[in-house]
Amino acid sequence: MVAVDRTVSGLRGRMRDWRTAGETVGLVPTMGALHEGHMTLVRAARAEYDRVVVSIFVNPAQFGPREDFDSYPRQEARDLAMLAEAGVESAFMPGVAEMYPDGFSTAVTVSGLTECLCGRGRPVHFRGVATVVTKLLLQCLPDAAFFGEKDFQQLQVIRRLAGDLDIPVAIRGVATVRETDGVALSSRNAYLTPDQRACAPAMIAALRHVAARIGEGAPASEACAEGRGMLEQAGFDPVDYLEVREEESLALVEGQPAPSRSARAFAAAFLGETRLIDNWPL
Ligand code: PAF
């Protein structure tokens, strides 16, 4: 049985009880529509911490005006059943008015990391993510919070804000979970038609191609142009970006990556109305 808190005071009371009993806590922030990728985060948290809290909140502040906030999948009963099955003790499921009461007027912006990649075409997205994650970290104050590497830019933004704001929570990245054909798990995969789903593996193929060509000595810009061609040929339209960037600073790499700095290939592209993103380490 998962205990559900819908208010910050309820969550804080539960945290106080656990802390008094000397227990450690891992937080897994989600927007629900849970899948195996989320459950991998839950298992990672369970393996290290006495208690796990999963937050489920579809955060309006991170959706642009023409994005899918209204249609974003919401399946509370199914999510809670999955959490119960995984032995999760607590779900934090606040409503919009609890998170953003009347008069709410504060935003967290992380400059430098948020203007590129997914921030370029979605100007409000990372401000919304940074604001809600800051709130969730401070509301719960867990020992650690777990995020998937599929949203690698988001993970780096959250690492930066936690460091900059001295929030005493370890930010943990967990490797992307993939289908057998390599497609990264995402709640948005549910939007794909069978034909679109058949095209989706081209994204990881293009990213792996970029990594392989750079490994052979090709400049990143050339490898990315080839990878972009692969995406377009597979039916992705438009391709939002296919770029190589340094992991920590997200600085663009056009030639060969500096050996001392880890880099990744990042892609975002549309199949019909559905925007897929993925990344692959070099
Ligand atoms: O990755 C997500 O599901 C969301 O962006 C997050 C981190 C839960 C914030 O709403």
Residue 40 near residue 173, CB atoms below 8 Å: no
Which residue segment(s) compose the domain that 262 sits in?
187-281
Residue 148 and residue 70 in one domain:
yes
Residue 87 near residue 46, CB atoms below 8 Å: yes
Residue 181 lies in a domain: no
Please tell me the number of Cα atoms within 13 Å of 84 on its side-chain side: 10
Atom of ligand 1 nearest to the CA of 129: 9
- Reported as a pLDDT band with limits 50, 70 and 90, residue 66 is confident
Residue nearest atom 9 in ligand 1 by C-alpha distance: 129
- Reported as a pLDDT band with limits 50, 70 and 90, residue 8 is very high
Total domain count for the chain?
2
Residue nearest atom 8 in ligand 1 by C-alpha distance: 30
Residue 179 lies in a domain: no
Residue 86 and residue 192 in one domain:
no
CB neighbour list of residue 29: distance below 8 Å, 6 or more residues apart:
54, 55, 57, 132, 133, 136, 145, 147
Give the per-residue pLDDT at 218.
97
Question: What distance in Å separates the CA atoms of residue 279 and residue 159, rounded to the nearest whole number?
Answer: 18
11-15, 23-27, 185-189: least confident range? 185-189
Give the per-residue pLDDT at 73.
87
How confident is the model over 264-269, as a mean pLDDT? 98
The answer to pTM > 0.75 is yes
Hey, CA dihedral for 131, 133, 137, 139, is it positive or negative? positive
Neighbours of 248 (CB within 10 A): 13
User: Residue 189: what residue type?
Assistant: N
CATH of the domain at 276: 3.30.1300.10
CATH of the domain at 29: 3.40.50.620
Residue 166 and residue 216 in one domain:
no
Q: Alpha carbon of 173 to those of 40, 133, 147, 155, 276: distances in Å? A: 11, 14, 5, 7, 20
CA–centroid distance, residue 206 to ligand 1 (Å): 26
User: Does 16 score more than 90 pLDDT?
Assistant: yes
Give the mutation target among 93, 132, 176 for probing the ligand 1 site: most ligand atoms within 8 A of CB: 132
How confident is the model over 229-257, as a mean pLDDT? 96
Q: Alpha carbon of 40 to those of 36, 190, 281: distances in Å? A: 6, 19, 19
